[in-house]
């Protein structure tokens, strides 16, 4: 996919704003800019969260959506054992999207420990699809707590 596909304001729209500033009033330009900002509410991003079992994917999904793990109706199930066996869509409550969409705009790869070769392989495959990805390290608080306990021994 071409990076320009993700542009919200096109070159033509920038030119419209420039003309409004040069030929019109500040109010006209502000109105034009506000129109383009309003378009942002209609942009849908399909994000996939991936990682090894137990890495904290469901907790991340819930936090990202602003939903607590204890919300039994809307939250992704969490637990000490693997709880999500099949891919499932969790639309953002404020910005719902097509639940059946299989097209992902970018990937978030979660690891609760050091990144492994499987994470690197996944990143390489994502790059081959010309998609973007982010690495996220989860459960840092547990590592900090463990390090402090080692210091106290």
Residues 6+ apart with CB under 8 A from 95: 41, 44
Contact predicate 77/83, CB 8 Å = yes
pLDDT digits (tens, 9 = 90+) for 72-105: 767 777 765 555 556 666 666 665 555 443 578 8
21 shares its domain with 82: no
- In whole angstroms, what is the distance from residue 127 CA to residue 45 CA? 18
33 shares its domain with 65: no
The whole-model pTM stands at 0.58
pLDDT digits (tens, 9 = 90+) for 2-48: 444 545 667 887 888 788 788 877 787 788 788 877 877 777 778 88
24 shares its domain with 68: no
15 shares its domain with 81: no
pLDDT digits (tens, 9 = 90+) for 118-138: 888 889 988 888 888 999 988
């Amino acid at each position: 996919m071409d990076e320009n596909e993700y542009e919200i304001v096109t070159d033509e729209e920038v030119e419209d704003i420039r003309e409004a500033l040069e030929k019109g009033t500040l109010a006209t330009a502000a109105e034009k800019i506000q129109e383009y900002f309003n378009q942002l509410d209609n942009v849908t991003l399909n994000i996939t969260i991936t990682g090894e079992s137990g890495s904290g994917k469901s907790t991340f999904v819930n936090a990202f959506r602003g939903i607590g793990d204890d919300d039994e109706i809307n939250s992704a199930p969490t637990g000490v054992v693997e709880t999500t066996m099949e891919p499932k869509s969790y639309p953002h409550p404020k910005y719902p999207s097509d639940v059946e969409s299989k097209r992902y705009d970018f990937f978030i790869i979660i690891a609760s420990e050091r990144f492994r070769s499987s994470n690197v392989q996944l990143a390489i495959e994502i790059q081959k699809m010309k998609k973007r990805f982010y690495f996220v390290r989860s459960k840092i608080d547990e590592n900090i707590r463990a390090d402090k306990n080692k210091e106290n021994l």
